[in-house]
Amino acid sequence: MRKLLHCTRAFFIDLWLTRRGAVAEPSADGFLDELFDLFPFGIQAQRWLREHVRVEIKDRLSAQGGGFFFPGENRVLLNTGQYEAAIHELAHAWWDARRAGREAALLAAVVQAAEETDPSFARIARLARGYVHGLPDEGFPGFLRDRNDWETFAGLASGCMADIRLLPPYLRPSFEGLFDLLPPDAPPPERTAPHR
Ligand SMILES: [Zn+2]
């Protein structure tokens, strides 16, 4: 959740930098090649994201993170070459074009995940509890109160780092097409990638 708040804050920083004339890299094709090679984006999703989303990266050599998705423009602006932020913002773009009529199912699955007791899904259950109940200590109200399906979706996408084996099975249908389900014995992509 802390990362999501940063995501929002980065938006304002981005606007400020843009007004001050910061120049974003015009093409991020090479970065997407690298990202799709390291993380299990579905082949159709790779094609769709390349064709429909304009991705810009300000400083590809840094991995500090932060970024924004501009819904009306199908545009993703990444502050750096951090994979976690890229997965998050690309998930926003993917879901924005597909969320109509699917919001309630996603939020219901998140409510169920907040009650999940299977230890194999502990990481996502913890994230889901924050989304559903908020984190009062951090002043985070959660996403359910406003039925914010878009941050829920993108938060889960980067929360599992594109590895939907970490999601309880009832959450996976929302991510179908975006990420492939890896075989049980495949190493976690976040561990084989050079950085997060
Ligand atoms: Zn976000």
| Residues 31-69 pLDDT 10s | 999 999 999 999 999 999 999 999 999 999 999 999 999
Distance 26 CA to ligand 1 centre (A): 22
Distance 157 CA to ligand 1 centre (A): 10
Distance 143 CA to ligand 1 centre (A): 11
Distance 185 CA to ligand 1 centre (A): 30
Q: Is 70 helix (H, G, I), strand (E, B) or coil?
A: strand
pLDDT the model gives residue 20: 38
CA distance 19 to 8: 17
CA angle 179, 87, 75 (to 5 degrees): 110
Distance 154 CA to ligand 1 centre (A): 6
**Average of per-residue pLDDT across 98-125:** 98
pLDDT the model gives residue 28: 82
pTM for this model (two decimals): 0.87
CA distance 106 to 174: 6
> What is residue 98's DSSP assignment?
T
Distance 2 CA to ligand 1 centre (A): 11
pLDDT the model gives residue 88: 98
Distance 6 CA to ligand 1 centre (A): 9
Q: Is the separation of the CB atoms in 60 and 25 below 8 Å? A: yes
Distance 92 CA to ligand 1 centre (A): 7
Write the CA distances from 77 to 41, 59, 104, 184, 190, integer angstroms.
19, 11, 28, 33, 22
Distance 152 CA to ligand 1 centre (A): 8
pLDDT the model gives residue 29: 81
Domain ranges of the chain: 2-96, 103-179
Q: What is the pLDDT of residues 78-107, one digit of tens each?
A: 999 999 999 999 999 999 999 999 999 999
> CB neighbours of 174 closer than 8 A, spacing ≥ 6?
102, 105, 106, 109, 153
Distance 153 CA to ligand 1 centre (A): 9
Instruction: Categorise residue 77: left if φ over 0, alpha if ψ from -120 to 50, beta otherwise.
Output: beta
Largest pairwise CA distance in the chain = 50
> CB neighbours of 149 closer than 8 A, spacing ≥ 6?
95, 99, 102, 103, 106, 107, 143
Side-chain half-sphere CA neighbours of 4 within 13 A:
25
